[in-house]
Structure 1
């Protein structure tokens, strides 16, 4: 580089060897690139967290519940399917089960688990969820009825004394409360229990409406039926309101302490009227 000189009142601008400067700069950069030093760049890539997956619980077992017996023609009963899941929880899955009856000639079952009695016998009711299933048994015992007598004759009175004694012995708690509230001329839980059992043998059994008694004899309450008597309709025609009945007193010391079983046929001693007291 040369020093500028003043010429004609001005200074000469310095002359720079531009080419040499550029060459030197290029060489310097080249030297830096070949010095052996390495620059490392670290790049961190963040992946999104995986979405947790929840497995669907599976059905481990099925429990079917329902009444063990149906005793009315065409009677229905609701059965329930309760599943136990793999988590240990239980759920009512009645509406989604596949229902079936082992013996549809005895009892059928609808898609909602409703069982209908068809005929006497036994059947298993099953609820299935694919390969997992459960079942329970149901017994159909339909009431019997003695055929109507021919030519206006009377049917004989069935001897059910021993049956009443055996049936009553199964529920001593009911016998002790056969006169609730001290009201004599109305049906009571013990008598309902006895009549229901008798009607399984023959639907001609019922209550005596006790037409000879009034509210004055019943603590001011309407007379419904004798709480200690039963009636058997022995002729043709409807049961309700029939006077063609055998009358049997089956409880001594009724409304006394304690009452006890007896068997006294008093047909013809007083009028009797068959009634179902609205129960059947």
Structure 2
């Protein structure tokens, strides 16, 4: 039993008085709510789709989709496997190492649920640096290659604007850029230096999600402004469809690997 104490204080000019009373009240039983831990209902792997030289490494991420709708990075607790260790091996921490040229399937398993990706190893090609004062011509088959690579992954174009965020790389563009880099590692992303977080839902600008960039100079790739700029997606973050627009010179551009290479 609990004592409930109710007090009333009265103040009168020249006189102070306090009235108190006690009552017995039954105790309220504590409520116990059992909340089940969310289950893993899906696993996706964030990773490059291509590696370009023997011994190249990349950190993979195993992302769990939970029954409560949230996602979590559980790379450290995933069980990792490669279907072809001679092409690429993967260690317990999710670090993949390239070997022979070819393809392998990488698997990440969490709580009995498995996600997979196909990883290619293609030894890199790179056009030689131009002579001083010169620039490399833009490859002439870009539109056809983008069409071919897009056709290899039907439906991936619908994942070109995840979360409605426009100025970051995305699974579709990652695939296109990776495949282009198999032909020439001068290909990368446009860092979109004309945009800020105010244009990107408050998030940092990483890269245009619908454009590609080609370093035509002898400069190191990352950060160079000596780039050809190609828009390859129309109605980005709307009803996306392929396009091809060479807009070099219309606005500043800057090469970036978006933290992937």
The normalised TM-score by structure 1 is 0.53
Q: Which runs of 5+ in 2 are unaligned?
A: 1-48, 58-85, 90-95, 104-119
Confirm or deny: 8 A CA contact 2:50 2:121 kept in the other structure.
Answer: yes
- Give distance in 1, aligned partners of 2:243 and 2:224: 25
Q: Runs (4+) of structure 1 moved beyond 6 Å?
A: none
The match for 1:260 among 225, 241, 246 is 241
Q: 1:241 and 1:170, CA in 2 relative to 1: closer, same or farther beyond 3 A?
A: same
**Structure 1, unaligned runs of 5 or more:** 1-68, 78-100, 102-106, 123-138
CA separation of 1:260 and 1:239: change in aligned 2, threshold 3 A: same
CA offset digits 1:186-224 (Å, max 9, x no partner): 000000000000000000000000000011111111101
**What is the aligned counterpart of 1:225 among 192, 198, 207?**
207
SS in 1 for 2:150: helix
Distance 1:222 1:196 in 2: 23
CA RMSD of aligned residues (A): 2.9
Paired residue for 2:53?
A: 73
| Higher Rg of the two aligned structures | 1
Structure 1 residue 72: Cα displacement: 2.5
Which whole-Å CA distance do the structure 2 matches of 1:76 and 1:203 have between them?
A: 14
Counterpart CA distance in 2 for 1:115 and 1:231 is: 27
Question: In 2, distance between residues paired with 1:157 and 1:199?
Answer: 14
The 8 Å contact of residues 51 and 98 in structure 2, kept in 1 or not, is answered as no
Contact 1:70 1:117 in 2 (8 A): no
> Aligned partners of 1:249 and 1:260: how far apart in 2?
11
Where 1:249 maps in the other structure, the secondary structure is: strand
Is the contact between residue 248 and residue 265 of structure 1 (CA under 8 Å) also seen in structure 2?
A: yes
Output the CA distance in 1 between the equivalents of 2:249 and 2:200.
Answer: 23
Q: Is the 8 A contact 2:190 2:208 kept in 1?
A: yes
C-alpha distance after superposition, 1:239-266 (max 9, x if no partner):
000000000000000001x210000000
What is the distance in 2 between the residues matched to 1:179 and 1:173? 13
Choose the corresponding residue for 1:235, options 217, 221, 228: 217
**How many Å separate the matches in 1 of 2:102 and 2:201?**
46
1:89-129 CA distances to partner (integer Å, 9 max, x unpaired)? xxxxxxxxxxxx8xxxxx899xxxx98637x689xxxxxxx
In the superposition, relative to structure 1, how do residues 121 and 246 fare at CA in structure 2: closer, same or farther (>3 Å)?
Answer: same
More RCO (CA 8 Å, sep 6+): 2
Choose between structure 1 and 2: higher strand proportion: 2
Q: What number of residue pairs does the alignment pair up?
A: 163
- TM-score (norm: length of structure 2): 0.57
Quote the residue 1:247 is aligned against: 229
